């Protein structure tokens, strides 16, 4: 009986210490849990290692859907892939019109694909379009350079180790975003973009294209044709701001190539349109090439002998740019 009492006392002491430790730890745990619950996204120091996710990110336009393929080994580099003029509200076309996800699945690079923004040029607009009853004012530049990076940072993506690439409307937008946000982007790519929008007839062509793609009024975007916003968003004009940027610029000839296989009347109609759009992009891109040469700003240019304004060619160009993108962002 004398031996049992010391053992009982020891057990009681250990239990008391355990209760005291729990009393000290519980408020700390509760505080951490409360912070996580209140935050917009889980806080992490490293991006998820691989995998695909769809999230909604708060913005001044309301929640914006973003499709994300995480870097295979949790790296902090990201490539923003911008859509074209007819961007849909449910999916970014890079995810279903191309094999972009497969191309970069094993690379240490996160693909960031925002959804929506039809006819937006990924710009901050003056006002909602008054031709189609648009309810909100587009603020895509703010979203892509402030609100979205703030969210991605909580998931381990760097604010400064990024690239941006787009096609057509997204091509000129990619260069615009990179030029004015050098602290965010190290690489910019334009595929079949319109890079000389101050050229004769280009502003009128953009006006007509935006009316056709959702009845958007271009005056709500950059104001009347004499507004300074047109110059701010013209790659030919702001080209000096791209000095030191890693650039990949592409446009094909407009002649049908290996991916153009029209069979029905509608196919021939679409191919004819795609030929004209690509030829116009080529003229713009060649002018931009001369502009960069005059400024002695190096860039990688790709001018395939055949190719129209269509997704299969852009998918191929994304693959061609892959090495440069991964090198620039150190994302191998």
Encode pLDDT of 9-30 as tens digits: 454 344 443 433 333 333 333 3
Catalytic residue among 278, 281, 310, 317: 278
**Is 168 known to be catalytic?**
yes
Encode pLDDT of 57-69 as tens digits: 999 999 999 999 9
The dihedral region occupied by 89, where left means phi > 0, alpha psi between -120 and 50, and beta the remainder, is alpha
Catalytic residue among 59, 123, 168, 172: 168
The pLDDT mean for the chain works out to 90
The partner residues of 164 in beta bridges, in order of sequence, read: 80, 188
Encode pLDDT of 87-111 as tens digits: 999 999 999 999 999 999 999 999 9
Encode pLDDT of 79-88 as tens digits: 999 999 999 9
List CB contacts of 130: < 8 A, sequence separation 6 or more. 217, 220
Length of the chain: 332
The pTM of this model reads 0.86
- φ, ψ (nearest 5 deg) of residue 324: -65, -40
**Which of 85, 151, 169 is CA-nearest to residue 112?**
151
Tokens of 99: 């094999």
Class of domain 47-329: alpha beta
CB-facing half-sphere around the CA of 318: CA atoms within 13 A: 27
Contact 329, 79 (CB under 8 A): yes
Encode pLDDT of 169-206 as tens digits: 999 999 999 999 999 999 999 999 999 999 999 999 99
Mean pLDDT for 152-171 is 98
Reported as type and span, the H/E element at residue 136 is none
Taking the C-alpha atoms of residue 332 and residue 329, their distance in angstroms, rounded to an integer, is 8
**Is 278 known to be catalytic?**
yes
CB-facing half-sphere around the CA of 163: CA atoms within 13 A: 28
Catalytic residue among 120, 181, 192, 309: 309
CA distances from 300 to 34, 108, 292, 317, 325 (A): 49, 22, 11, 12, 11
Reported as type and span, the H/E element at residue 228 is helix 228-232
- Secondary structure of residue 217 in the 3-state scheme: coil
- φ, ψ (nearest 5 deg) of residue 242: -90, 0
- Torsion over CA: 224, 167, 77, 323 (sign): negative
Q: Which residue has the higher pLDDT, 26 or 45?
A: 45
The partner residues of 54 in beta bridges, in order of sequence, read: 67
> DSSP letters along 58-106, please?
--TTS-EEEEEE--TT--S-EEEEE--TT--SS--GGGTTS-HHHHTTT
- Secondary structure of residue 187 in the 3-state scheme: strand
Domain residue extents for the chain: 1-38, 47-329
Contact 66, 54 (CB under 8 A): yes
The pLDDT value recorded for residue 25 is 34
């Amino acid at each position: 009986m004398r031996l049992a009492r010391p053992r009982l006392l020891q057990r009681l002491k250990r239990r008391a210490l355990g209760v005291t430790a729990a009393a000290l730890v519980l408020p700390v745990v509760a505080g951490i849990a409360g912070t996580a619950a209140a935050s917009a996204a889980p806080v992490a120091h490293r991006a998820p290692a691989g995998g695909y996710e769809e999230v909604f990110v708060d913005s001044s336009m309301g929640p914006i859907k973003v499709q994300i393929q995480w870097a295979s080994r949790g790296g902090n580099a990201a490539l923003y892939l911008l859509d074209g003029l007819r961007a849909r509200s449910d999916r970014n076309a890079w995810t279903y019109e191309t094999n972009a996800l497969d191309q970069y699945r094993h690379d240490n690079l996160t693909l960031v694909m925002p959804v929506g923004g039809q006819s937006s040029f990924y710009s901050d607009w003056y006002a909602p379009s008054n031709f189609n009853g648009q309810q909100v004012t587009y603020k895509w530049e703010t979203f892509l350079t402030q609100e979205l990076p703030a969210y991605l940072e909580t998931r381990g993506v760097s604010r400064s180790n990024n690239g941006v690439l787009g096609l057509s409307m997204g091509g000129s937008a990619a260069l615009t975003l990179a030029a004015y946000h050098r602290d965010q982007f190290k690489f910019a790519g334009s595929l079949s973009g319109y890079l000389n929008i101050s050229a004769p007839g280009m502003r009128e062509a953009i006006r007509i294209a935006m009316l056709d793609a959702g009845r958007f009024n271009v005056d709500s975007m950059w104001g009347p044709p004499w507004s300074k916003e047109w110059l701010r968003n013209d790659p030919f004009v702001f080209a000096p701001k791209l000095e030191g940027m890693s650039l990949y610029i592409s446009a094909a000839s407009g002649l049908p190539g290996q991916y153009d296989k029209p069979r029905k009347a509608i196919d021939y109609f679409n191919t004819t349109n795609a030929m004209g759009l690509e030829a116009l992009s080529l003229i713009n891109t060649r002018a931009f090439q001369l502009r960069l040469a005059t400024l002695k700003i190096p860039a990688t240019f790709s001018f395939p002998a055949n190719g129209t304004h269509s997704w299969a060619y852009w998918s191929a160009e994304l693959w061609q740019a892959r090495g440069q993108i991964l090198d620039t962002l150190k994302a191998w």
